[in-house]
Amino acid sequence: MNEAPLIGEPLALDLVNTRPTGVDLLATPDDLANWLALQAARFPELAVARPTSADLAAVHAVRDQISAALDARLHDRRPPADALRGLNAAQAAAPAIRQLEWGGDAVIAIQRRDGTVAERLAAVLAEAAADLLADPSIGKLKRCEADDCVLLFLPAHPRRRWCSAERCGNRVRVARYYRRHKCVD
């Protein structure tokens, strides 16, 4: 089964959601390249020509740390100290620096990061996790209610129950319809 990753949630959730039940949508550097391309319009700082195994390992490490922190928040627990330390270390390895440059008719501020591609990717993703974990809306974090789905989302509407209406919502509604109409035959 070749699933396409869902995107559109905060970046940290999109990353965690690349590991639905029983499959890793970021199993190879090519998978990572595809996911980064999907995110490019929203997060141009993630642009990487050809991710390597080292880049993939760095992204996996950050994903694991974000997953641990979010799982704790889902259960109203304190995030593991190791996860928070790991996310802080990833950010510190390639901090964002705003550099001022003359743009021809005005001064512009351009954000840059030093470090390897792996460090820069991990820093951007860890920074997204920090933004999410510190956001007051984290208390609304939900796991999809479909039986076979583990994806996370932040509902814009309090009655939202599924990661995606197209992905899980329709499957649940169709299954409910068939259960109700099964006895009619």
Number of domains comprising the chain:
1
pLDDT of residue 173: 66
Helix, strand, or coil (residue 98): strand
Q: Which CATH number goes with the domain that contains 122?
A: 1.10.3300.10
Kindly report the pTM of this predicted structure. 0.86
User: Can you read off the two tokens belonging to residue 151?
Assistant: 């994806």
Residue 102 lies in a domain: yes
Host domain of residue 15: 11-144
CA distances from 45 to 10, 63, 99, 104, 145 (A): 15, 18, 15, 23, 33
pLDDT digits (tens, 9 = 90+) for 132-146: 999 999 999 999 988
Query: 47 in a domain, yes or no?
Result: yes
Nearest-CA neighbor of 52 among 76, 28, 71, 82? 28
pLDDT single digits (tens) 44-57: 888 888 999 999 99
pLDDT (0 to 100) of residue 96? 93
Cβ(33)–Cβ(18) under 8 Å? Answer: no
